[in-house]
Amino acid sequence: MAEIKSLADKAILVNLSISQYGGTTKDKDATKVVLNAYNASHEAGTFTKHLIPKEGAALRVTSAVNAIRKHFKVYTSPWDYRGTGIIRSSKYQEFVNAIRILIEEYHEAVKDMITEFPSLQEKAKNTFLQDLYNENDYPSSWTLEQKFKISLEVFPIPKTEDFRVDWSEEEKRKMDEDRQNLENERMEKVNSNLWKRIYEPIKHMALTLSKEDSKVYKSLLTNLSNLLEILPDLNIADNTELEKMRKEILDTLFENDIDALRESDVLKKDMANKAKKIAKKIIDDKHINEEQNIIDVMSTYAPIPPNTSYPQTKI
């Protein structure tokens, strides 16, 4: 009989931290002008201005940060309130190889942005902000550099024996019990997050295909397909219900390609109803909490008549 691995033996924790130059500030003078112009209370709002135009390297920095965060979110599940994620150990090398490339692109974009910053500031003064421009709003070159930081920390899931403390057997037992309870609680949240990640694109598919005049984009299928591909690795607890649902979705919602869905209202109705049933099943099994039942939302299409003939499509 194969030995059952503990969570610490098959997963690790990773923490991503990114900081960057925000490029915005509140303008008290502009706020007064706007509030006075509309006879509004001083508590009604504030005027926040962008200090530089979002173009060139500045835009690349934002894109690089978004790409890094997206990659981290795809490969990990939330573990704690500090933003730490849990990842299967066997996927770590694949994860880190790709994120290193993204981080390098981030550093290159930051380097270029710092070089371009004086010209961006000059553009803000002459055309972008004009009368809203204030020299005191802008950081020095050194201060600007300090605002860009990124780090990726990796650490193991702790075991009781990792604590090198001279404890009694009773204290060790209590420590191990508390650690296991916390681990179980967090794994429940990991599984809840995975159910939500499955449910959301299926709900979106059901809602989209239930509308008569809806546009059907390729991402409707590819986003779900990509998630289902990596789900076995995200399913660190090897939850059998999650795996069963993954296979059911693959067997049920990928019978037709995106072009067929665009061309046939019959297929759209059929797919909408199938997605609706799966979404309802996830709700009924209490894997997620949904305030408004999806069935109440999607009443646009009547049931498909029996003996309906379907167009032939590629799988």
Q: What is the pLDDT of residues 241-287, one digit of tens each?
A: 999 999 999 999 998 888 998 888 899 999 999 999 999 999 988 88
Q: Give residue-wise pLDDT tens across range 156-189.
A: 987 655 555 566 777 777 877 887 888 889 999 9
- pTM exceeds cut of 0.85: no
Burial 204-223 (b: 16+ CB within 10 A, else e): bbbbbbbeeeeebeeebbee
Contact yes or no for 253/202 (Cβ under 8 A): yes
Instruction: Report the 10 Å Cβ neighbour count for 67.
Output: 17
Among the residues of 210-257, which ranges form H helices? Answer: 219-234, 240-253
The alpha carbon of 121 is separated from its chain's Cα centroid by a whole number of angstroms, namely 33
Long-range contacts of 68-71 (CB under 8 A, 24+ apart): 68/16, 68/18, 68/99, 68/102, 68/103, 68/106, 68/150, 69/16, 69/18, 71/95, 71/98, 71/99, 71/102
Instruction: Report d(CA 108, CA 1) in Å as an integer.
Output: 51
3-state secondary structure of 49: strand
Q: What mean pLDDT value characterizes the chain?
A: 87
Provide the token pair at 59.
Answer: 């835009």
Query: What confidence category does residue 81 fall into, taking pLDDT thresholds of 50, 70 and 90?
Result: confident
- pLDDT reading at 300 higher than 50: no
Q: Is the pLDDT of residue 313 over 50?
A: no
Residues whose CB falls within 8 Å of the CB of residue 175, separated by 6 or more in sequence, listed in order:
160, 163, 167
Q: Phi, psi (5° rounding) for residue 254? A: -125, 30
Whether 1 shows a pLDDT value over 50: the answer reads no
Model pLDDT, residue 309 = 38
Pull the structure tokens for residue 273: 């109803």
DSSP state of 256: S
| pLDDT given at position 160 | 54
| Band of residue 288 on the pLDDT scale cut at 50, 70, 90 | confident
pLDDT at 200 over 90: yes
Q: Which pLDDT belongs to residue 273? A: 94
Both tokens of 11, joined, read 């997963």
106, 68 Cβ separation under 8 angstroms: yes
